[in-house]
Every structure is written in structure tokens, then in C-alpha cells.
Amino acid sequence: MAAGLADAVRANTPVELRRLGEAELVSLADELRQYLLYSVGQTGGHFGAGLGVIELTIALHYVFDTPDDRLVWDVGHQAYPHKILTGRRERMGTLRQKDGLAAFPRRSESEYDTFGVGHSSTSISAALGMAIAARMQGSGRKSVAVIGDGALTAGMAFEALNHASDVQADMLVILNDNDMSISHNVGGLSNYLAKILSSRTYSSMREGSKKVLSRLPGAWEIARRTEEYAKGMLVPGTLFEELGWNYIGPIDGHDLPTLIATLRNMRDLKGPQFLHVVTKKGKGFAPAEADPIGYHAITKLEPAGAAPKKAGGPKYSNVFGQWLCDMASQDPRLVGITPAMKEGSDLVAFAERFPERYFDVAIAEQHAVTLAAGMACDGIKPVVAIYSTFLQRGYDQLIHDVAVQNLDVLFAIDRAGLVGEDGPTHAGSFDLSYLRCIPGMLVMTPSDEDELRKLLTTGYLFQGPAAVRYPRGSGPNTPIDPTLAPVEIGKGVLRRQGKAGKVAILAFGVQLAEALQVAERFDATVADMRFVKPLDEALVRELADSHELLVTIEENAVMGGAGAAVGEFLARENRQQPLLHLGLPDYYVEHAKPAQMLAECGLDAAGIERAIAERLALLATPAPEA
């Protein structure tokens, strides 16, 4: 079956695609859709958005001379058809696997991937930079950004739209409106208008009129306004026109002849051009069309008769979601804020039970943080549910708007540490480092589901900015105390008392399970540190006094992380204590299954055991004589 589907796709590269007649492209779209359904079913991955842009992807590569013309995909969820049509069809079975294709566009993977992405709303800025570079180099190459309606909610996208019109860049932005959140006005009339308004005849008439009317005081401005308002009555582009863009659309994103004709018309127009395309997420796959959120991404489809996977504990995000509802029931001041991660951060139940206290600010991380700060100023208690890498985008707001003012905001930081197949753009590798340096910040690292619940309560009751960081996936199925009991701030707990007095392992987070496993070999002491800031200095001092080697473990960059906090404390105490810091290496860990990534970083049980054994052997080696 796989071979038949693979052979069915008649164009493996844009060069081959451009050799086809337009009449063949509809059949190509059907074949490509079938192959995408099959290939993503084998590997898992982002699903619905790719199905929705198949016709648009074909039209773009058909009309533009890629890779010389720069095609920039926003986020990358839409880019699977692009990967198939740019020479990577045979490798789609390796998607999101170790040493395989990346989940998102990546410059090192293909010359057709002009900009590496993972986070949203970057495409217009990047394409604008490329358009300016082309102008400076005297090149005629084109720059095209494809951005979704969700990504267009971010301030960065509007900053780029404003700048592009200011510098009059020759570029095209395509709004892929797959939620119909901007316009429902799609049909024969709007398609017809798009062809007329994007045509060279209309453009020439417009420029000729401008030259004539510009000689009459105020006449061109009146004509321009009249044109804008006339278009605004028929199409929803007034906002973009006011920003200085020539708006065309909306058009049906699954109508290939209209797409191709419109793109050809717009390709050589000067100045900022904006094309509004309406698509259906999950197009061609009925379950995805009916449930675009549920089918945004899918896991690998297991063959019939495969053994069911062993049930684990609840997901950490589920533990957070339950805690949020429980705490909201007790405290009417609590509000939940998310930057478009309602499902991922598990705020679904909270949104249903407390709709007036739930705020989804769309893809606007900076606004989410400052919104929370404003609420905290007036006695509301915000809980910001946000992914670790997304909080990076609101870092200035975290410092300037929350921490400097010592405001009472709790950050529930999901996807901390390595996240698996989405790769380095989504790995929460740096949050302990970037949080620990902020004065007044409470920073906590739960080791299991029960600890997560307790530390969330601790952070919530803390007067000031607090952060609890926890990983993607499920915990070890530790029994959860259903109460809302906090723990003492800045106090870790011993989980195992060793007798040999050689090794003490200080675990910051979920590597506690591996630490306890490794401790059996070395008869080591194991501490669940819980707090990165404030550090339990009394516990560190006690362990340093009674053990030859201290080992810190964290799923965060070693530089500036929790282990560094231990080393800094010992240095202040003028202790010459042997230390072994285990954490993420000083390079970006490529996508793979989480277990493979941890093994590569030496953070699985075998890697931790090996590192400790090597350090003990080094300590036992006599120092060379002077």
C-alpha cells in the first residue's frame, strides 16, 4: 500500500510540479492529500493544518520560482505538504523520529526551507527581512509569508505589517484563514473580485489615475478613500488597507484555478501585497473537518491487533487542570490566563466551570503576562498557564511588569525540559536559568504528580511572583493528596538516606525517580530539592558536610541552572566540595522520543550511573606529584 501511494504522487519537486499542466493539478492535490494522510498516520504529527493547505502549497510552488523565491511558512504546522513536494517524500516515514525529518521547516534540512520556525507569528518579519535584502542586492526574487489567522493575533505580526508598509517592501503575505475567524464572505463574487482587483489591468488603471489625480490638490486622497470604502463594503480588508497593504480576497483556498490566477496576478505587483485565503482545516478527511482541534495533531496510528500501551499516571497538565478547578472553587479571586493553549495546558474544565474567570488571549504571550500584572495590581490572583518556551517570548514583561513590581502572579510552566518529537524549538531547556536570576522570584521543581499539586498551592499562596515548572507527559502514578496543602517554602526533603557517606544526589524535578534507582548501586543519599529559589541552603550544607561528592540533576541547561545555584552557594561558603552537575548539554538536542533524548543527554538511569562512577573513579585517582 505504501509503495502505491508513494508512486501516485507525480511531482516530487517544484521543478517537476511546474512541468505539469494546470488541468493535472487537481488530481495532484487529491494524490497528495492521500499520501499525507498515510504518511502522518505512520509517524504521528501535525495533521489538520497540512490537509487544509494542499491546494495553496501546490499553487505557491507552481507560480513562484522556489527556492530562489523565498517562501516562509509560519509556525510550520502547515508545512507537511511543502516537505513532500520539495524532495522529501521518501523520508516522510522518518518524520519526528530520531535522525529523521524535523516537525517544522528547518534551513539545514532543505534549501526550500528558507526560515526555521516552531513558534508562531515570525513569518512576516522574516519575509520582510528577505525582501529588504533582495532590494539591497538588486535581485528580483520574491518573498512570500504564509501565516494563519491564529498567528495573526500576535503583536509581532502587526509590527511587521506596519514596518513593511513604511519601507514599501515588495512582498506578499498570504493569510491562511482556516477558522473563518475573520471572514465568512467566500464564494463566486469574492473570487471574481479578487481576480479583478489583482489584475494588471486594474493595477495599471490605478497607477495611471494616481498620476493624473495627484496633480489636483486632495483629489487622489479622495479617490483612494473612495476605493478603500468601496472594497470595504465587499471584503473585510479595510484594516490591512489602512496599514498600507493592497488587500485582495477573501478567496477559496481549495479552488486551484482561482488561486493560481490570483497569485500570478499578484506576483509582480509592487509594494506590500496581502492575499486573504480561506481554507478548511482537515480538508478531505471527515473526522478532522468535524473536529479541527482534536485533529490538529495525531499520534502514530497503531496497527490493528497491537497490544495496548501500558497505562501510566495522569498527565502533569491534567494534574494542573484539576488543581486549578479545586483552587478556584475555594478562592473567587483566582483567574486563569492562557495564550491559546487551552487544550494543551488542560484548562478545558476550568473554562467550562468558570467562564467569567477564564481568559484566552490568543497567541499573545507578552500580553498574557502584562494582563496578569494589571489584574494583580487590583487584587485579582492570576494563574498564567504557559509553555516554557512560550514564556521566553514574554520575558521582558515577566521582569518589567511582574517581578520589578513584586506582583502576585503564579506561572504554571508546562513542557519544561525535553519535549520529544517537536525538537529544540519547543524544548523548555532554559526556564530555570532565566527564572533563577530574577530577584524575588519563587522557582519550584516538582518531582511527581503529588508534588506538583502541593507546589502549585505553595506558589499560589506566596505573596509575589512564583513559578512551578513541570514536564510534558505523565508522571510515575504517585498517589495524590486531594487537599490543597502547601509545603514550607525553601525546604527540600530527603527521599533516601545513604550509609556510605560518599555520594549525595540532589534532584531538581522529575529525575528523582532515576536518582533513586541509581542510588541503590552507590548507597547514595537522595534529596528532592523542590526549590531552585530559594535554595534549601541548610540541606545543601548538611549534605556537603556528610558526603564526599554532591551530584545535582536537572532537566535544564547546566549553565545558570539549579546545579549552578548549589555551586554558587558552596563557593560563597568557601567550601572546596567535589561537584558533578548533570543536565542538558550546551547544544540544541534534536528531535527524538523523550527517552532517546534523555539517554543522549545522560539523564536516564544508565547515564547518571555512568557519570557518577566516572567521577568517583577520578576522585579516587591520586593527584600527580608536583
Catalytic residues: 281, 365, 393
Handedness of CA 46, 106, 418, 41 (dihedral sign): positive
Q: Judge whether 404 and 369 are in contact, CB under 8 Å.
A: no
- Please state, in angstroms and rounded to a whole number, the distance separating the CA atoms of residues 466 and 461: 9
257, containing H or E segment: helix 256-267
Kindly report the number of other CB atoms within 10 A of residue 348's CB atom: 12
- Please state, in angstroms and rounded to a whole number, the distance separating the CA atoms of residues 340 and 47: 18
Q: Judge whether 589 and 418 are in contact, CB under 8 Å.
A: yes
The helix/strand/coil state of 506 is: strand
Handedness of CA 203, 204, 207, 213 (dihedral sign): negative
The helix/strand/coil state of 426 is: coil
| Among 295, 271, 323, 286, CA closest to 166 | 271
| Among 55, 53, 65, CA closest to 18 | 65
Query: Which amino acid, residue 409?
Result: V
Q: What is the secondary structure of 343-366 as a DSSP string?
A: TTTT-HHHHHH-GGGEEE--S-HH
- Please state, in angstroms and rounded to a whole number, the distance separating the CA atoms of residues 390 and 65: 34
Sheet holding 272-278, edge to edge: 70-73, 143-148, 171-177, 272-278, 246-252
Q: Judge whether 17 and 54 are in contact, CB under 8 Å.
A: no
CA distances (Å), origin 81, targets 290, 436, 571: 21, 41, 54
Asked if the peptide bond before residue 67 counts as cis, ω within 30 degrees of 0, the response is yes
CA distances (Å), origin 304, targets 34, 36, 43, 300, 307: 20, 20, 16, 12, 9
Kindly report the number of other CB atoms within 10 A of residue 6's CB atom: 17
Q: In the structure, how many helices (H) and strands (E) does the chain have?
A: 26, 19
- Please state, in angstroms and rounded to a whole number, the distance separating the CA atoms of residues 552 and 88: 42
Pseudo-torsion of CA 536, 540, 543, 548, nearest 10°? 160
- Please state, in angstroms and rounded to a whole number, the distance separating the CA atoms of residues 279 and 185: 12
